[in-house]
Amino acid sequence: MNLVIDVGNTSIKIGVFQKDILIHKENLKLLDFQERIEKLHQDYSFINSAILSSVANFQEKDITLLKSKFKTLILDHTLKMPFQNLYATPRTLGVDRLALVAAAVCQFPKKDTLVIDAGTCITYDFKNKEEFYLGGAIAPGIRLRYTSLNNYTSKLPLLNLEAPKNHIGDSTNQSIHSGVVNGILYEIEGTIAEYCNTYPDLTVILTGGDAHFLSKRLKNSIFATSNFLLEGLNYILAFNNSQ
The rounded distance, in Å, linking the Cα atoms of 221 and 106 is 20
Q: Is 32 annotated as a binding residue?
A: no
Residue 70: its pLDDT value, please? 95
Q: Is 180 annotated as a binding residue?
A: no
Burial of 139 (0-12, 13-18, 19+ CB in 10 A): middle
Q: Catalytic residue at 201?
A: no
Residue 214: its pLDDT value, please? 96
Q: Is 87 annotated as a binding residue?
A: yes
Residue 74: its pLDDT value, please? 96
- C-alpha distances (whole Å) from 20 to each of 121, 227, 238 are 27, 12, 9
Which distant-in-sequence residues (6+ apart) come within 8 Å of 15 by Cβ?
Answer: 3, 4, 6, 22, 24, 25, 227, 230, 233, 234
Is there a contact between 71 and 48 (Cβ–Cβ < 8 Å)? Answer: yes
Residue 11: its pLDDT value, please? 85
Is there a contact between 138 and 153 (Cβ–Cβ < 8 Å)? Answer: no
Q: What is the pLDDT along the chain (243 residues), one digit of tens a residue?
A: 999 999 987 789 999 999 999 999 999 998 899 999 999 999 998 999 999 999 877 889 999 999 999 999 999 999 999 999 999 999 999 999 999 999 999 999 999 999 999 999 999 999 999 999 999 999 999 999 999 999 999 999 999 999 999 999 999 999 999 999 999 999 999 999 999 999 999 999 999 999 999 999 998 889 999 899 999 999 999 999 997
Q: Write down all domains in the chain, each with its CATH number in brackets.
A: 2-74 (3.30.420.40), 84-233 (3.30.420.40)
Q: Is 146 annotated as a binding residue?
A: no
Residue 31: its pLDDT value, please? 86
Q: Is 111 annotated as a binding residue?
A: no
Q: Is 4 annotated as a binding residue?
A: no
Q: What are phi and psi of 75, to 5 degrees?
A: -70, 125
Q: Is 219 annotated as a binding residue?
A: no
Check 20, 32, 43, 96 and give the catalytic one. Answer: 96
